[in-house]
Structure 1
Amino acid sequence: MQNFTVHQGVVATLDRANVDTDQIIPKQFLKRIERTGFGQFLFFDWRFLEDGETENPDFELNRINVKGASILLTRQNFGSGSSREHAVWALDDYGFRAVIAPSFADIFFNNCFKNGVLPIALSEEDVEELFQRAEKGNPYQLTVDLENQVITDGQGFERSFEVDASRRHNMLHGLDDIAQTLLHEDKITAFEEARG
């Protein structure tokens, strides 16, 4: 998992509440067995017209000023629905390093930390202010500093956010569940050797 310390990136806005995991990554694309390659299917039913190839010019992520965006700004209850980890894989593979919203579905929130995507919960008022600022920016950029737990835009917006100390440590050091286990590889090996 890629570590996350300080990230500066373009903000893409998704002005929708209750975006569920089937909207993030539709079920027909879940047949892959690897974690990569899902970005091309992110928000597929919204990003493309009915032919499945032509980009929908009205969809937020298809705007030219947010191409290459790495921070997603959205509304409350993002990631609701089924517990598919593929939703985070799709966001990550598309290039998003952080998602900012007033609230997240619990399982999605946890999956973000396990896959190197930082979910940041801000108040609805702060999220609304960011939406307004993003509409004026062309493109609008934010800096997310996980070490100091602060978001800034260099234009007067600065907010702190909280991340559990353990999750923060793991993100700062790029430690997913497997990497955390491998930190104890010598003890595991010694235990296995002792058992014969």
Structure 2
Amino acid sequence: MQLNKDVCDIAVTTKGEIFVTGDKNIKKYLQDESCIKIADTNLYNTRGLCHTSIQDEFLVCLHNGYDNESKVVRMTTAGQIKQTIKKTNINNPWCVAENINEDVVVMDSYSTIVVVNKKGEYRYKYPGSSHSSHMIGGCYGIACDNTGCILVCDYYNNRIHQIDMDCRFIQFILTQQHGVQIPMGLSIDNKGQLWLCNNDGKEVTIYKYRSSRLE
């Protein structure tokens, strides 16, 4: 499938539907590879996107560069906004994921992971201290596994953080010793495989993933 240019993020539903963000809209790709616009976001640029546990809903990051206003919205696949999580709790969101407890996990432009509950109420952030040895040197991808662990791409430090659903550090599950070099994004599929965009997006490496170990 050939996607239009300027795609920022992509999400695939359990029905196999493909949604993409880009520019100031959200589009859905059809089986004949044509696309339809399901939502205009007006002054907001669209960024990260993820499908949720609810069949016909997804989360999307929006940012307005004119007044530096940003938010995460919960939207139906028909383009109807059902919830808005505003800048009060999340500053300048870039990537978003939903955890198994329905927490919303967001990576902001300051390379901080912010977690809010389903209602949009602040829970935790990671790293929790500016003096933490687990600081993130540029983050370009997050994912949640089926046990509630959160995986975070650490771009400049060439490693993948594994933290629990309360944002407590567990381990660096992948490092340069595993061949990680400038990781750009990651995803975990339903077969228990971790897909890592590596080497500044020039290659994809696949690992067998079982929450506590990689092969």
Asked if TM exceeds 0.5, the reply is no
The structure with the largest alpha-carbon Rg is 1
Give the structure, 1 or 2, with the largest relative contact order (CA under 8 Å, sep 6 or more).
Answer: 1
Q: Which has the higher helix share?
A: 1
Greater strand fraction, Structure 1 or Structure 2 = 2
Name the TM-score, length of structure 2 as normaliser. Answer: 0.25
